[in-house]
């Protein structure tokens, strides 16, 4: 089905989508094309990029537009109750089930369900969802009666589902069933001048709401704004505009120096991106990648130092620092954990210089250098819980995961008091 430019502009205006970037227009075009069908749609994109707006486009342009639209955040529902929320339960099916309850798939019959953060859905619930998608039927918790439903499913995620499939944390059959038609919502940093358009839109909204003069940007400030990566995407930009609007009382034209004070410092971690799947990795996966790359680089440094000091010098270094080249064999294979070294500018140790001043072993024990993913994850969870006085809601926020995922990890690592 051909979609004209005027149709794309009309839909963007109707649903409040600001921007003219080609990637954004392509996403709107795909949403328009798939809307009249009953196909499942998987919307991917970073958090805050506006994925829910595309689910509303699909529903409102479909034959189900007069039916109910139910948005559900899978990451916000505890693992123990998500089956009941989605599929309902019978009276007495569990301790607090004092009466029967209809689930979202029953009450939304004839409409559209938007499953946000689908990657956080438990494996058992994924099997139930697959049954709905394949056969249009489900069973309430505590019941043996099969019920029918006619619901269209639109899902969204900000994580790499294919990676979760490889890790055994997401069903492969469900992934391909959901991903019938994929829609990628580009992050704000890839939308160019759209950032400036959105800034003006949010400034105008604030001005109209509070009856003040809208803020504007100098040319230098515009260039600075376009260079910022906006990890929080549109949500972060709106918060930035509101913050500047309320705190800048004297001069409504914001220069680059003023804008810089409001922009958070950008992280130095590399942005890993899967161009094939158009899905970014999580911060924890990026951290693991950085740690393993660091391990390889440091082991290479150990080999360079060993070669640079020569056989006689190496013997002296090993005598004074027995752990320094632990794990590096004569065949140059490296098996040790990383050791950080301080190397002189010449690249080798010269005679008459104290080796202890040139080569510093800061890896005190093998245990400290452990790169076990499970151990590090457990340590992070313990630290977050202690910091927040065992309040899981705030600990989960610090860790960047959902409260339900934190609850599962606490049980997995037996951290419950």
- The span from the CA of 121 to the CA of 408, in Å, is 12
Q: Are residues 182 and 218 in the same domain?
A: no
Point out the domain boundary residue: 159, 186, 213: 186
Widest CA span in the chain:
86
Q: Is residue 256 part of a domain?
A: yes
Q: Are residues 117 and 92 in the same domain?
A: yes
pLDDT above 80 for 296? no
Q: Is residue 276 part of a domain?
A: no
What's the confidence (pLDDT) of residue 320? 59
Mean pLDDT across the chain, nearest whole number?
82
Q: Is residue 267 part of a domain?
A: no
What's the confidence (pLDDT) of residue 412? 81
Q: Are residues 386 and 288 in the same domain?
A: no
- CATH number, domain with residue 402: 1.10.10
Q: Is residue 268 part of a domain?
A: no
Q: Are residues 81 and 105 in the same domain?
A: yes
Lowest mean pLDDT among 42-56, 61-75, 115-129, 332-346: 332-346
What's the confidence (pLDDT) of residue 269? 45
Q: Is residue 271 part of a domain?
A: no
Q: Is residue 384 part of a domain?
A: yes
Q: Are residues 290 and 345 in the same domain?
A: yes
- pTM recorded for the entire structure: 0.65
Q: Are residues 30 and 168 in the same domain?
A: yes
Q: Residue 101's beta-bridge partner residues? A: 89
What's the confidence (pLDDT) of residue 198? 97
pLDDT above 70 for 40? yes
Q: Are residues 98 and 158 in the same domain?
A: yes
Q: Are residues 171 and 108 in the same domain?
A: yes
What's the confidence (pLDDT) of residue 164? 95
What's the confidence (pLDDT) of residue 215? 95
- CATH number, domain with residue 160: 3.40.50.300
Q: Is residue 180 part of a domain?
A: yes
Cβ(149)–Cβ(169) below 8 Å: no
> What backbone torsions phi and psi does residue 102 show, to the nearest 5 degrees?
-85, 140
Q: Residue 155's beta-bridge partner residues? A: 42, 115
Cβ(349)–Cβ(309) below 8 Å: yes
Point out the domain boundary residue: 262, 293, 327: 262
Q: Are residues 156 and 67 in the same domain?
A: yes
- The span from the CA of 89 to the CA of 341, in Å, is 61
Point out the domain boundary residue: 186, 217, 236: 186
Q: Are residues 247 and 321 in the same domain?
A: no
Lowest mean pLDDT among 176-185, 310-319, 328-337, 379-388: 328-337
Q: Are residues 126 and 35 in the same domain?
A: yes
Q: Is residue 163 part of a domain?
A: yes
**Between 391 and 173, whose confidence is greater?**
173
Which domain range does residue 401 map to? 373-412
What's the start-to-end Cα distance of the chain, in Å? 59
What's the confidence (pLDDT) of residue 231? 94
Classify strands 279-280 and 273-274 as parallel, antiparallel or unpaired.
antiparallel
Lowest mean pLDDT among 72-76, 257-261, 269-273, 282-286: 269-273
| % of the chain with per-residue pLDDT over 90 | 59
Q: Are residues 118 and 236 in the same domain?
A: no
- The span from the CA of 112 to the CA of 340, in Å, is 55
Cβ(411)–Cβ(400) below 8 Å: no
The count of other CB atoms within 10 Å of the CB of residue 367 is 9
Could you give the number of structural domains in the chain? 4
What's the confidence (pLDDT) of residue 287? 62
**Between 101 and 319, whose confidence is greater?**
101
């Amino acid at each position: 089905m051909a979609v004209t430019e005027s149709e794309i502009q009309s839909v963007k205006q109707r649903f409040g989508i600001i921007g003219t970037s080609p990637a954004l227009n392509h996403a709107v075009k795909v949403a328009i094309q798939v809307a009249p069908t009953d196909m499942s749609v998987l919307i991917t994109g970073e958090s805050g990029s506006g994925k829910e707006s595309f689910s509303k486009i699909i529903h409102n342009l479909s034959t189900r537009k007069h039916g109910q639209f139910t948005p559900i955040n899978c990451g916000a529902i505890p693992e123990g109750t998500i089956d009941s929320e989605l599929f309902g339960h019978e009276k007495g099916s569990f301790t607090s089930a004092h009466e029967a309850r209809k689930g979202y798939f029953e009450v939304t019959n004839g409409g559209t369900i938007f499953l946000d953060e689908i990657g956080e859905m438990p494996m058992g619930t994924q099997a139930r969802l697959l049954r709905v998608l394949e056969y249009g039927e489900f069973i309430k918790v505590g019941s043996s009666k099969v019920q029918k439903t006619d619901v269209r499913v639109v899902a969204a995620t900000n994580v790499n589902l294919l990676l979760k499939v490889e890790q055994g944390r997401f069903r492969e059959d469900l992934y391909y069933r959901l991903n019938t038609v994929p829609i990628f919502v580009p992050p704000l940093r890839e939308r160019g001048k759209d950032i400036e358009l959105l800034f003006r839109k949010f400034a105008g909204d604030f001005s109209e709401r509070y009856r003040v003069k809208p803020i504007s940007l100098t040319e230098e400030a515009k260039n600075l704004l376009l260079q910022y990566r906006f990890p929080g995407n549109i949500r972060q930009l709106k918060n930035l505009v509101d913050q500047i609007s309320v705190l800048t009382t004297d001069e409504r034209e914001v220069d680059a120096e003023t804008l810089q004070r409001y922009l958070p410092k950008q992280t130095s971690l590399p942005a890993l991106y899967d161009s094939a799947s158009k899905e970014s990795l999580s911060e924890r996966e990026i951290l693991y990648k950085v740690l393993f790359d660091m391990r390889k680089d440091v082991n290479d440094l150990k080999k360079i130092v060993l070669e640079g000091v020569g056989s006689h010098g190496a013997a002296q270094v090993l005598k004074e620092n027995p752990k320094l080249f632990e794990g590096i064999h004569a065949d140059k294979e490296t098996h040790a954990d990383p050791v950080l070294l301080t190397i002189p500018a010449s690249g080798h140790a010269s005679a008459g210089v104290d080796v202890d001043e040139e080569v510093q072993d800061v890896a005190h024990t093998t245990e400290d250098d452990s790169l076990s993913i499970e151990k590090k994850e457990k340590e992070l969870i313990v630290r977050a819980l202690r910091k927040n006085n065992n309040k899981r809601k705030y600990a989960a926020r610090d860790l960047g995961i959902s409260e339900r995922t934190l609850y599962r990890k606490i049980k997995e690592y037996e951290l419950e008091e």
